Structure 1
């Protein structure tokens, strides 16, 4: 099983699927924001950045899937982004379901001075919603809870891909062509 995952991780198709999934989530977030008029909060914007981190990892994997160093760098960026996204989504759900006066989120994202994303692309990275608001539900699950599920899936798959790098891929494969 793990050698098969290693084999998949060496194909551009697998990295393209990762890229496509993150692109789909970003397009969905933009539709929620601009199409449905749902106001993103600061934690939503940070989670969007975590998805972009996973997208960056997929691009690195797409460029050089056969190179073990590039693949490991991509998987580590993927895991770091998925972990940060999971932590942010968990805190976001905590703010919504267990409100506490000492727990707050800022009104605007705090990006580093060398990377002011909210100034460069305000339509993508400007937050104007409240973290405590429950603005969207699907199948009785709030958006913050969906993000926990999404990031947990990214984290589990990323960990499996990382562990699979210890196992050699089969010599012949339909994925390696």
Structure 2
């Protein structure tokens, strides 16, 4: 299995698939916000940025997937973003399941002054909802609970691909060449 994962990581198609999954989740979030009129909270925006980080990792991996350094950089960025996203989704779930006055998210998003995403793209990165309010659920699970599963999936896949990078490639037999 590790050999297969390493071979898959050498192709642009696998990184494109990762990028497409991230774009699908981002598009779903924007659909919820702009079509279904659900109000994104600060944690929703931070989780959205974490998925964008995984998408950035996919773009890095697509640049030159056959170069080990590029693959390792892409995997590091993707894993870091997925782990941060998981931690954010867990905290968001805590806000929703334990809504008390001293367990609340900030009122406004806080991005670095060098990367003010909420100023550059307010339609995508501005928050105006409450973190403790459950606005949507599917099969009894709220949105941050689904994000926990999504980020765990990304961590598992990217982690296995990272482990597969230490697996040496199989050499072709040259007995009859």
Same-fold call, TM cutoff 0.5: yes
- Deviation of 1:140 after TM superposition, in Å, equals 1.1
- Deviation of 1:100 after TM superposition, in Å, equals 3.5
Residue of structure 1 in register with 2:62 after alignment = 62
Deviations 1:17-66 (A, max 9, x none): 00000000001100000010000000000000000000000001011100
- Deviation of 1:162 after TM superposition, in Å, equals 0.6
CA distance in 2, matches of 1:129, 1:164: 41
Residue of structure 2 in register with 1:26 after alignment = 26
Residue of structure 2 in register with 1:141 after alignment = 141
- Deviation of 1:69 after TM superposition, in Å, equals 0.3
- Deviation of 1:171 after TM superposition, in Å, equals 5.2
CA distance in 1, matches of 2:17, 2:27: 15
RMSD (Å) for aligned C-alpha atoms: 1.0
Deviations 1:74-103 (A, max 9, x none): 000000000000000000000101223322
Residue of structure 2 in register with 1:118 after alignment = 118
- Deviation of 1:108 after TM superposition, in Å, equals 1.1
Contact 1:7 1:170 (8 Å CA) reproduced: no
Alignment partner of 1:7 is 2:7:
yes
Match of 1:49, SS state, is helix
CA distance in 2, matches of 1:91, 1:97: 10
Residue of structure 2 in register with 1:53 after alignment = 53
Match of 1:79, SS state, is helix
Contact 1:43 1:92 (8 Å CA) reproduced: yes
Relative contact order: is structure 1 or structure 2 higher (C-alpha 8 Å, sep ≥ 6)?
1
CA distance in 1, matches of 2:51, 2:171: 33
Residue of structure 2 in register with 1:167 after alignment = 167
Contact 1:4 1:170 (8 Å CA) reproduced: no
Residue of structure 2 in register with 1:175 after alignment = none
- Deviation of 1:3 after TM superposition, in Å, equals 1.0
Who wins on radius of gyration, i.e. which is larger? 2
TM norm structure 2? 0.94
Structure 1 gap ranges (5+): 173-177
